[in-house]
C-alpha cells in the first residue's frame, strides 16, 4: 500500500501445518518481487492471516513499513 492505495497483491496461500513443530507459531517463508516501476517513497506491507477452522474466521492483520529509494 502507498498513500492508502493498493499497488501490489499476492494470491492467498494455504499453509500446511503438518510439518510445523509448534502450532502456536506457524512459520511461513515466502519470497516475491516488486515491480521495478514503483515510485520511490514509503510503503506498507500488509499480511492478513485467517484460521478457517474457527466458527467465525476473522483475519489477523500485521503491517510492516518499508521505503523504496532510487
Tens of pLDDT, residue by residue over 17-54, are: 888 999 888 888 888 888 889 999 999 999 898 888 88
The residue behind cell 514509503 is 42
Whether the model clears a pTM of 0.95, i.e. scores above it, the answer is: no
Per-residue confidence (pLDDT) for residue 42, from 0 to 100: 96
Per-residue confidence (pLDDT) for residue 40, from 0 to 100: 95
Per-residue confidence (pLDDT) for residue 46, from 0 to 100: 93
Per-residue confidence (pLDDT) for residue 56, from 0 to 100: 81
Neighbours of 7 (CB within 10 A): 13
Per-residue confidence (pLDDT) for residue 12, from 0 to 100: 87
Amino acid at each position: 500500500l502507498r498513500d492508502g492505495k493498493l499497488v501490489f497483491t499476492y494470491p492467498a496461500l494455504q499453509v500446511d501445518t503438518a510439518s510445523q513443530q509448534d502450532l502456536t507459531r506457524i512459520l511461513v517463508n515466502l519470497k516475491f518481487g516488486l515491480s521495478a516501476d514503483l515510485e520511490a517513497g514509503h510503503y506498507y506491507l500488509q499480511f492478513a492471516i485467517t484460521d478457517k477452522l474457527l466458527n467465525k474466521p476473522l483475519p489477523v492483520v500485521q503491517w510492516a513499513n518499508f521505503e523504496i529509494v532510487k
